[in-house]
Structure 1
C-alpha cells in the first residue's frame, strides 16, 4: 500500500528527531557500508502544534492536512549509525527531483536535509535514494485507526505499535518503535533490510518510547 498523506494531518520535524545510538567514527562513514534502514514516519500534527511548526508553512499551512509523512530513510548499524558521508553527488537536491516526492515528504528543506545527513551514506545517487525512500514507504500499510483522527486520542506506545503490526502481519514486534515528544506521538520507526524486508533491530526497539499514555493530536 502506498504511503499517502492521510487527511488527518502530519508535519515533519526535520531537525528534531534523533537517530538511534551514536554516530560512527569518521573511518566508518563509507557510503553503502551499513547494516539496515530505519524508515521514520512522523506524525505531523505533533510537529505542527509546536513552535517549530510555525516556520514550516509547506508542511503546516492552514490548508495542509497531513497525517503520517516520511521523515526519512536512515542507514543504521546494529550499533550506531553513519551520517553526513562524503559522496560525489551534489549536496543540494534540485527542485525538479525533490518536488516529485512532496506527497510523502512535503518540503525541499526536509528532502535536502535527509539527503545530506542520511542519503549520502546510502551509497545511492540522489534519484536512487529518493526512489528507495518511496519504495520503503510503499511497503507499509498504515493502520486504519490513524486515517480519521478528529479528536485527540490517548493510547499506549505498545498499542500504537500493535496497530502497525496488525496492519503489517509480517512485521516482527522487534522491528518497530514509537518515538514520543513529551507525551505526544512523534514518530513510528520501522526497521528494514537493504532490500526492504522487515527485520528485528534491538537497539532501535530498546530506544523506543514505552509510556502508557501517548497523545495522538488531530490536525489543527
Structure 2
C-alpha cells in the first residue's frame, strides 16, 4: 500500500509543472491584440471603452504571458492580491483598455511571472514599447486584406533583431486577431517553436479599420 501511495504521489507531481510556482518559466509571449477585430466580433455597438471610438485603440497589450518551450503555467499561487486596484489599472488604459482585462491577465498570467503586480504591469509596458509597429499599415485608418507572411515580414523589418521564428500571427474567422512576439525574461526577441507552430494557417487575413 505504501508503494502504491508513493507511486500516486509521484504521478501527481508530474502533473504539477503547468500549475508551476511563480517564475518557473522559460520566456514571455507578448500578445498584441488588434482591437478593431475584437470589437467587430464582441462589441459591434461600441458599448465598452475599448470600442466606443473615444480612444483609438489599434494594437492593445492583451498580455505578457510566461511560457515554457512546451506548454505554459497559469493561475499560479501568489502573495499578491487577486484584484488589480483601479488606481493601478487606470495608469495602463492607453495600452490595456479596462480594469477587467488587467485583472484577468494578472490572475491567469501575471501570477506566474514571479513579479509584483506593479512590476508585472511595468514589464508589460516595457515589452509593448520595445515593439515598433509598422505605422503605414497598422494605423487603422482603412480596412485591409493582408497576407500573414507579409504581416510577419513588416514586423521583422520594423524591429531589428526580430526574426520570423519569434513572431506568430493569429486569426479568427478570417480576421487578424493577434500578433504574438516571443521575448526572453530580459525582453530580448527570441525564437519559440511551439508558439510559431500555433500561428494562423490562413494565407490572407482581413485587418478591420478603427471604429
The answer for the alignment partner of 2:144 in structure 1 is: 153
The answer for the alignment partner of 2:5 in structure 1 is: none
Q: What are the residue-to-residue correspondences of 1:122-161 with 2, within 5 Å?
A: 122-161=113-152
Q: Equivalents in 2 of 1:55, 1:112: separation in Å? A: 21
User: For the structure 1 residues 211 and 147, does the alpha-carbon distance in structure 2 shift closer, same or farther, using more than 3 Å as the test?
Assistant: closer
Q: What are the residue-to-residue correspondences of 1:1-220 with 2, within 5 Å?
A: 25-28=15-18, 29-52=20-43, 54=45, 57-220=48-211
Query: Is the Cα contact below 8 Å between 1:154 and 1:215 reproduced in 2?
Result: yes
3-state DSSP of counterpart to 2:136: helix
Superposition CA RMSD, Å:
1.6
3-state DSSP of counterpart to 1:57: coil
Q: Equivalents in 2 of 1:123, 1:108: separation in Å? A: 21
Query: Is the Cα contact below 8 Å between 1:156 and 1:210 reproduced in 2?
Result: no
TM-score normalised per structure 1: 0.85
* Rg (Cα) greater in structure: 2
Q: Equivalents in 2 of 1:88, 1:213: separation in Å? A: 44
Where structure 2 has 5 or more consecutive residues not aligned to the other structure, the ranges are 1-13
User: For the structure 1 residues 55 and 30, does the alpha-carbon distance in structure 2 shift closer, same or farther, using more than 3 Å as the test?
Assistant: farther
Q: Deviations over 1:99-143 (max 9, x none)?
A: 111111111001000000000000000001001111111110111
TM-score normalised per structure 2: 0.89
User: For the structure 1 residues 53 and 70, does the alpha-carbon distance in structure 2 shift closer, same or farther, using more than 3 Å as the test?
Assistant: farther
3-state DSSP of counterpart to 1:78: coil
- Residues matched between the structures, number: 197
Q: Equivalents in 1 of 2:174, 2:198: separation in Å? A: 15
User: For the structure 1 residues 113 and 54, does the alpha-carbon distance in structure 2 shift closer, same or farther, using more than 3 Å as the test?
Assistant: farther
Where has structure 1 moved over 4 Å in runs of 4 or more? Answer: 52-56
